[in-house]
Amino acid sequence: MNRYLFILSLPFLLWAQSPQEIQQEINQAQADYEHAKELFNPWYSGPLLTGGAHMMPPGYIGLQPYVYVADTYAAFDKHYTSHGIPDLIQLNPQINALQAGITSWLDVALGMQGFVNWQRDQSSGGFGDLGLTFGFPLLVEGPYIPAMKIGIGETFPTGRYQNLTHGKTAVQATGLGSYQTTLSYRIAKIFFASTLHPLNMRATFAYTIPSTVHVKGFNSYGGGFGAHGKVRPGNQLSVSVGMEWSVTQRWVFANDFVYSHSNRTKFNGYAGTLAGGTPSKVGAPSSEQFSLAPAIEYNFSSMFGILGGVWFVVAGRNSSKFVQGIVSVTYTWKVS
């Protein structure tokens, strides 16, 4: 009887492992992962839109300026049909990430931007809204686990958003006038299915909660002569997936897939009038947008790279349709 029990339990005994053996396998997997990175240590500086999930190490600073040149040439209605509008050309220089590592569990990123806008024979511009984001790690990337990070950000209304000039609203507005709190979750993983051409995947899920805005006159949300009241911008959801495929260590192909949704923007007050006494409108219905951003990267080193690409809208509802050329440089250095 004991002999039969032994035979029946033999497969389980063969599969059973001690904690030491399991730890040895984990250590070996980590060693294999590091060896794969040594065979081909990938350099990345993108993609254009999807944020990274890795922490900036303590004592390091990362700088990534962008230049966006956009042409907003159409608008989608509620039936996903686009209609042409007068071209709004926009030059938008940004520092999307002046990122500093504070500790192993905290980094901080500052975002600044400016605008120069042209539409028909009108032009204007100015400083945009300012962003500040604190990052906290959930997981550090390993052979079988991705990097994970959460972010808590705040956008400060430093751009112009109200008391705009009639007929120049589209070119004068550079901000939204709202304090916006953004909660984000980021995940990233490098896959070495091909040692010479690893694939870096990222995903970001962000939810933004804007504060109520007091507006007067012509403003970023509409309005007219004598307008005054409170605007409640709709909450926003954004989901982006980015990929980077290493052609060589220096040359990388990247692409972003982006979906965004905004709830209805509400208004309480007097909307004002347009020229001739026509009643004005303030606010907007719920909207959504789908877009792509393919790009090419060239990395001089693991700390210095440049990337450029095109961001364009594929489909939308109650939203704008645009195409943007984007160039960015990323540089990281150690300060202590």
Domains of the chain: 40-334 (2.40.160.40)
What band does 34 get if pLDDT is binned at 50, 70 and 90? low
**Contact (CB, 8 A) for 220 and 162:** yes
- CA angle in degrees (0–180, nearest 5) for 319-323-326: 125
Q: What is the DSSP letter of 276?
A: G
| pLDDT of 242 higher than 60 | yes
What band does 138 get if pLDDT is binned at 50, 70 and 90? very high
- Give the per-residue pLDDT at 37: 56
What band does 95 get if pLDDT is binned at 50, 70 and 90? confident
- Give the per-residue pLDDT at 28: 76
Per DSSP, helices labelled H in the chain are 2-15, 19-39, 169-172
What band does 206 get if pLDDT is binned at 50, 70 and 90? very high
Average the pLDDT over each of 190-194, 217-221, 271-275, 286-290 and give the range with the smallest value: 190-194
Average pLDDT over residues 13-29: 66
| pLDDT of 270 higher than 60 | yes
Amino acid, single-letter form, for residue 189? K
**Cβ-based neighbours of 307, under 8 Å, separated by 6 or more:** 45, 46, 47, 48, 252, 254, 295, 296, 297, 298, 327, 328, 330
How many C-beta atoms surround the C-beta of residue 327 within 10 A? 15
What phi and psi, each to the nearest 5 degrees, are found at residue 134? -105, 130
Average pLDDT over residues 54-77: 95
Amino acid, single-letter form, for residue 331? Y
Residue 113: CA atoms inside 13 Å, Cβ hemisphere, count? Answer: 26
| pLDDT of 20 higher than 90 | no
pLDDT digits (tens, 9 = 90+) for 53-64: 999 999 999 999
Amino acid, single-letter form, for residue 15? W
- Give the per-residue pLDDT at 10: 47
| pLDDT of 203 higher than 60 | yes
- Give the per-residue pLDDT at 30: 72
Q: How far is CA 324 from CA 59, 68, 157, 202, 313, in A?
A: 34, 6, 24, 22, 9
* Coil vs helix vs strand at 141: coil
Average pLDDT over residues 232-259: 96
- Give the per-residue pLDDT at 14: 46
What band does 16 get if pLDDT is binned at 50, 70 and 90? low
| pLDDT of 152 higher than 90 | yes
Query: Cα 283 to chain center, whole Å?
Result: 24
**Contact (CB, 8 A) for 186 and 49:** no
